[in-house]
Amino acid sequence: MGYTLVEKILMKNAGVDHVSVGDIVITRPDMFMVHDIYTCYLVDALKNMETEELDDPSKVTIIFDHCMPTAVAKNDSAHYDAGIYLTEKYGLDRSKIHIGEGICHSIMHEKRYAKPGQIATATDSHTTTYGGAGCFCTGIGTTEMAAALTTGELWFKVPEAIKIVLKGHLKPGVTSKDVILKILGDIRSDGGQYKSLEFVGPAIKDLCMDARFTVSNMALEAGAKCALFPADERTAEYYDMDYSEIEWVHPDEDAEYEQVLEYDLDELEPQLSCPQGVDNVHSIDEVKGRKLTEVYIGACTNGNLDDMRIAAEVLKGKKAAPYVRLIVAPATNKVYKEAIKAGYIRTFVEAGAVIIHPCCGLCCGMPYGLLADDEVILSTANRNFIGRMGTKKTLIYLGSPAMAAYSAIKGEIADPREACQEA
């Protein structure tokens, strides 16, 4: 009997030659990430444990990305001071302290902190993102983080796994965001609870790394413990690695799965998550025509360079509807700079967009576009919970960068496939 990908990664890290679903394994994670919101809680937890030194300070990164304004984090004195205290008290590597450089999850793979076949944990739910590169990554609480930083160890229960087979090819105007929204609509918000979602199939080779990160990021909305893509040549190129180093990062052909789901991407239509829950998913034909107040392109889900490219190609030479606020948030400073170089930022500005500093921003309910009662937004973020981006009466739709860009032009939720036909 073969092993699922999550089983293989846990086995390798734990140094054991066999695991079964439900087993408890003791691991030594390769990387730990804490973002600004949780620095204060982590300080308290470490003090309560009377921790004087960490097992391996070189494995820790602190990223200031949630609290505003991130570019001048000193203004958020409580979280900033806590982060600096942790750095100085425990001898953290200052090169791994990122202030106002972008969203934590994008930085984690951009800086190559979370690599294929490794284990990474962080104090944030969307840590599943790095699974797009075959990294077992999951969110943990601050007390768990404090214990893990102190001991260097963390136990996991080996999760069940769902095999998701992707076939065919995405049509113009359809993206990886539509793939994961379709899956979320099918399995619902609890369908992946403490499970590994493992993506295989011939369609994977066509997905760039940013697209894979998008899928793994939003798998969390199904309750997934992790969401894993096998490593391939594209993965090796992204991480500047020899493929032979990570060739093992794939599930065995005879691995046993709780269930197997198959999707033909040739038949996939643009999808939307509708108010008020991420798994309230409908195809574009059921929702198009809904008038919009605002469009937001960004977040760790769809703020990467390929997302900027997709949106810019739709917006090139066009203007956002005059009554629609269009806000673009590159995920990191690196993405911002590369988007400037590629001409994407110029396109956004000429389309009437407001470009904001790389940060979580509106996705976590911070400034840069908060909405009032009865206003309607189409966002590329990963959650549309009640009150997430404004008042409790704000209506939040989630869609792809292509859909967001075309809808901004039309002033209403619109089918991005029509933009491709117009081009």
Q: 41-63 b/e with 16+ CB inside 10 Å = b?
A: bbbebbeeeebeebeebebbbbb
Residue with tokens 């008290």: 89
Q: What is the pLDDT of residues 77-118, one digit of tens each?
A: 788 889 999 999 999 999 999 998 999 999 999 999 999 999
DSSP-derived letter for residue 114 is: S
Q: What are phi and psi of 380, to 5 degrees?
A: -95, 10
Number of domains in the chain: 2
77 located within any domain? yes
Over residues 116-171, the pLDDT tens digits come to 999 999 999 999 999 999 999 999 999 999 999 999 999 999 999 999 999 999 99
CA angle 269, 272, 278 (to 5 degrees): 135
Mark whether 143 and 49 lie in a shared domain: yes
Residue 363 annotated as part of some ligand binding site: yes
Do 106 and 300 meet the contact criterion of CB atoms below 8 Å apart?
A: yes
Judged by DSSP in three states, 422 sits in helix
Residue 276 and residue 235 share a domain: no
Is residue 422 assigned to a domain? no
The verdict on 260 and 305 lying in the same domain is no
Any domain includes 301: yes
pLDDT the model gives residue 21: 97
- 25 and 157 co-located in one domain: yes
Is 360 annotated as a binding-site member? yes
Mention every residue, 6+ apart, whose C-beta is less than 8 A from residue 286.
none
Distance of alpha carbon 167 from alpha carbon 260, whole angstroms: 13
Least Cα distance to 64 among 34, 91, 85, 43 occurs for 34
The residues near 322 (Cβ < 8 Å, ≥ 6 apart) are: none
Domain membership of residue 285 as a residue range: 271-416
Q: Which residue has the tokens 């008038």?
A: 291
Same domain, 131 and 97: yes
Residues 143 and 54 in one domain: yes
Report pLDDT for 213. Answer: 98
Tell me what pLDDT residue 293 has: 97
Residues 53, 187: one domain? yes
* Domain shared by 399 and 329, yes or no: yes
Among 265, 283, 298, the domain boundary falls at 265
pLDDT digits (tens, 9 = 90+) for 43-88: 999 999 999 999 999 999 999 988 755 555 555 678 888 999 999 9
pLDDT for res 121: 97
Q: In this structure, are 256 and 275 located in the same domain?
A: no
Q: Give a yes or no: residue 33 inside a domain.
A: yes
For 179, the 3-state DSSP assignment is helix
- Give residue 399's Cα distance to chain centre: 14
Pairing between β-strand 195-200 and β-strand 271-273 as defined by DSSP bridges: unpaired
Q: Are residues 253 and 297 in the same domain?
A: no
CATH assignment at residue 396: 3.30.499.10
Residue with tokens 């953290």: 92
* Buried/exposed 232-269: b ≥16 CB within 10 Å, e otherwise: bebbbebbebeeeebeebbbeeebebeeeeebebeebb
Asked whether residue 208 falls in the same domain as residue 281, the answer is no
Tell whether 174 and 58 lie within a shared domain. yes
Q: Which of 286, 292, 260 is nearest to 397 (CA)?
A: 292
